């Protein structure tokens, strides 16, 4: 079975391509390399001992999509392509709506015309907005996001729900990721942000490897255990396993289905720093600063629905997340 993976060269996409190849799927990876490197997929091929087909191109390019669907018997699409920097999305909303919403709609139109109706979409826990209570189950209300990036995820979710209502042939998974971290245990592929990382885990890893001086902890006055923000960090290998399960389950059901992909456990920023220091043996100096605009105090998943319906749950604990992040970062101090 052939799967089209958009954004396949990126952090999560490259791990998903590897898992698909290992599970026996044929993979077509489409990526414009806007925020990633061609090298990630070369390493994936080496790790898998199998070839994939890479197409450098854009999901907004309708002609290219039509050609891909005409030339290959694609049965399903894993759609990771998009831009994800929250701050940048505030400064450049049009780029975010054009890529994440416009690009997605173009992809869905090409799929519809090619008769391909099975889709797994990368959504985010950001669609829950400022949560009323914890943990977050899929029935919790969604809310207008505080930034265009989050808003683009919410809009695409709504587009896909409308699509599934309009045409019963669609089988769609809306996977709401909590906080993906970690890397493949080989240390060969991992998260390689361009410029200063926006997210906690790559920032910690870059401080530890000597690329950045110190971590800024955004807010120490939240109503949490130690005052710092609490999140549900999930190992990227567990996360992509959830995609493979969703792909299988979609084979036998139609409609649009929402699943949280999280562990169900929250850790604070300072707990993450301490766990990383313990595993890596490196010091991670930090300063406590003001809260970051738009951040929630705490956010963790109720993963029950995915466990019941996908027969999936996260297996890796914090130690593996830290050890695998550090192996990737120390083997590749400057990324790919």
Q: Is 84 in the site for ligand NAD (CB under 6 A)?
A: yes
Q: Is 82 in the site for ligand UFG (CB under 6 A)?
A: no
Residue among 11, 25, 128, 149 flagged as catalytic = 149
Q: Is 271 in the site for ligand UFG (CB under 6 A)?
A: no
Judged by beta carbon, residue 32 or residue 206, the one nearer ligand NAD is 32
Judged by beta carbon, residue 151 or residue 179, the one nearer ligand NAD is 179
Exactly one of 82, 135, 150, 266 binds ligand NAD (CB under 6 A); that residue is: 82
Residue sitting closest to ligand UFG (CB) = 229
Judged by beta carbon, residue 161 or residue 292, the one nearer ligand UFG is 292
Extract the tokens encoding 235: 């190992």
Where does residue 165 rank: exposed (0-12), middle (13-18), buried (19+ CB within 10 A)?
Answer: exposed
Site for ligand UFG in 185-214 (CB under 6 A): 198-200, 203
How far, in Å, are 30, 69, 73, 76, 317 from residue 116 at the CA level? 16, 9, 9, 7, 36
Judged by beta carbon, residue 124 or residue 280, the one nearer ligand UFG is 124
Beta strands in the chain (DSSP E): 2-6, 26-31, 53-56, 74-79, 118-124, 171-177, 179-181, 215-218, 230-231, 233-235, 255-261, 267-268, 286-289, 298-299
149 is catalytic: yes
Region of 195 on the Ramachandran plot (φ > 0 left; ψ -120 to 50 alpha; else beta): left
If one counts every other C-beta atom within 10 angstroms of the C-beta of residue 311, the result is: 10
How far, in Å, are 77, 106, 115, 269 from residue 110 at the CA level? 11, 6, 9, 42
Exactly one of 124, 152, 171, 224 binds ligand UFG (CB under 6 A); that residue is: 124
What is the contact surface with ligand UFG in residues (CB under 6 A)?
A: 84, 124-126, 150, 178-179, 198-200, 203, 215-219, 229, 231, 269, 292, 295, 299
- Residues tagged active-site: 149
What is the contact surface with ligand NAD in residues (CB under 6 A)?
A: 6-7, 9-13, 30-36, 58-60, 80-84, 99, 103, 122, 124, 177, 179-180
């Amino acid at each position: 079975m052939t799967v089209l993976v958009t954004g396949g060269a990126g952090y999560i996409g490259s791990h998903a391509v590897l898992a698909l190849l290992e599970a026996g799927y044929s993979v077509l990876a489409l990526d414009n390399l806007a925020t990633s490197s061609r090298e990630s997929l070369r390493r994936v091929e080496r790790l898998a001992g199998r070839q994939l087909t890479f197409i450098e191109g854009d999901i907004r390019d309708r002609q290219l999509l039509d050609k891909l669907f005409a030339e290959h018997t694609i049965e399903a699409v894993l759609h990771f392509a998009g831009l994800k920097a929250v701050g940048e999305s505030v400064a450049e909303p049009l780029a975010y709506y054009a890529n994440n919403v416009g690009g997605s709609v173009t992809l869905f139109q090409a799929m519809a015309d090619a008769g391909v109706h099975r889709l797994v979409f990368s959504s985010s826990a950001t669609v829950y907005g400022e949560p009323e209570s914890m943990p977050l189950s899929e029935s919790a209300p969604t809310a207008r996001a505080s930034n265009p990036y989050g808003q683009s995820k919410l809009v695409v979710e709504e587009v896909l729900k409308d699509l599934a209502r309009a045409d019963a042939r669609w089988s769609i998974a809306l996977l709401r990721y909590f906080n993906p971290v970690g890397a493949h245990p080989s240390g060969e592929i991992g998260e390689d942000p361009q410029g200063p990382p926006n997210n906690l885990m790559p920032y910690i890893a870059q401080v530890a490897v000597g690329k950045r001086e110190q971590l800024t902890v955004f807010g120490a006055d939240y109503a949490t255990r130690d005052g710092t923000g609490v999140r549900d960090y999930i190992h990227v290998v567990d996360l992509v396993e959830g995609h493979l399960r969703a792909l299988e389950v979609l084979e036998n059901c139609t409609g649009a289905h929402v699943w949280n992909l999280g562990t169900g456990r929250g850790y604070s920023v300072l707990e993450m720093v301490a766990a990383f220091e313990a595993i890596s043996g490196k010091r991670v100096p930090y300063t406590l600063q003001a809260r970051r605009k738009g951040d929630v105090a705490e956010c963790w998943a109720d993963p029950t629905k995915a466990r019941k319906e996908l027969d999936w749950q996260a297996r890796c604990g914090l130690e593996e997340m830290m050890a695998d992040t550090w192996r990737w970062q120390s083997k590749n101090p400057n990324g790919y």
